[in-house]
Amino acid sequence: MLSFFTLENRKRNTKLVCSKIYEEIKDIPYIFTYFVIGHVIFSIVFGFGIIFAKVDSLFFFLSLMVLYVQILTNLYFNGCFLTKIERQIIGKSWYGFPYTQIYKHPTTFKVNTTMWFNIILMLLISSLKIYYFYTSP
């Protein structure tokens, strides 16, 4: 079971998952545009769910679960596997939206730092919302 989490197996599984998905979608016209727009909309909707939804709503709970899955998959795949698929589709260096637009010369370190800052910020916001929901009179 622990061999599943070794670096070699994680790299192999990342390539396997990304290549399987890529093979299924590569022939769809304008797939890169659809994929990036879907990725961005998915991230924005669930990010707003954590920030604006009421703690006792199903949407907040769902947004929090999506955040936890995002954390686990980013840890396992060493970054967003959707961005890795986008990179395969476009065929060049791509760090995902908005990082490619924010940084003049994006690097893995810059992107990972920004991504983890956003994730920690979302965890802090959700934790404070839950805390104040259950402790306020």
Residues in Cβ contact with 46 at an 8 Å cutoff, skipping those fewer than 6 apart: 62, 63, 66, 67
The pLDDT of 119-123, averaged and rounded, is 91
Amino acid at the residue 24: E
Q: Which residue has the tokens 């589709």?
A: 89
Residue 55: both structure tokens together: 């703690």
Other CB atoms within a 10 A radius of the CB of residue 77 amount to 19
- Spatial CB neighbours of 84, under 8 Å, sequence gap ≥ 6: 14, 18, 77
Q: What residue segments make up the domains of the chain, in order of their start? A: 2-135
Residue 1 has pLDDT above 70, yes or no: no
Longest distance between any two alpha carbons in the chain, whole Å: 56
64-91 average pLDDT score: 85
The per-residue pLDDT for range 32-45, each reduced to its tens digit, is 888 888 888 988 89
Q: In degrees to the nearest 10, what's the CA dihedral of 46, 50, 56, 61?
A: 50
pTM of the model: 0.78
56 vs 59: CA distance, rounded Å = 9
